[in-house]
């Protein structure tokens, strides 16, 4: 489960406003604001899957936040499948 600090940290690491982060995840900006507040709900469903993929990729490649962001912006239309795409990209780059 994502904490408010983790959500905010990953958004800031990608240098995104709450509005841009919300667009990337396919949620309303108020949802991101609630995730980052002490009393708000936590990410779930497709948004959580995308966050998990982002976190995993950034953990493996901490200096590639810009590359990860560019990739995910292009993959955001697939919603929760972005996590699977990140996993496939990661596997493909290991074989190069």
What string of pLDDT tens digits covers the 96 residues of the chain?
899 999 999 999 888 899 988 888 888 999 999 999 977 789 988 888 888 888 887 887 767 777 777 666 665 555 556 666 666 677 767 655
Residue partners of 27: CB distance under 8 A and separation at least 6: 47
- pLDDT at 54 (0 to 100): 81
The angle subtended at Cα 56 by Cα 21 and Cα 16, nearest 5°, is 20
Helices (H), 1-96: 4-13, 18-25, 29-35, 45-60, 65-75, 82-94
The C-alpha atoms of residue 96 and residue 84 are separated, in whole angstroms, by: 19
DSSP state of 57: H
The CA–CA distances, whole Å, from 81 to 17, 37, 45 equal: 23, 26, 11
- pLDDT at 51 (0 to 100): 86
- pLDDT at 14 (0 to 100): 86
- pLDDT at 67 (0 to 100): 73
- pLDDT at 74 (0 to 100): 61
């Amino acid at each position: 489960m994502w904490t408010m600090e983790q959500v905010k940290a990953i958004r800031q690491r990608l240098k995104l406003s709450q509005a841009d982060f919300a667009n990337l995840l396919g949620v309303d900006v108020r949802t991101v604001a609630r995730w980052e507040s002490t009393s708000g709900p936590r990410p779930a469903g497709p948004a959580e899957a995308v966050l998990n993929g982002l976190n995993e990729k950034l953990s493996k490649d901490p200096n590639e936040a810009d590359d990860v962001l560019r990739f995910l912006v292009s993959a955001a239309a697939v919603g929760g499948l972005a996590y699977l795409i990140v996993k496939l990209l990661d596997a493909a780059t290991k074989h190069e």
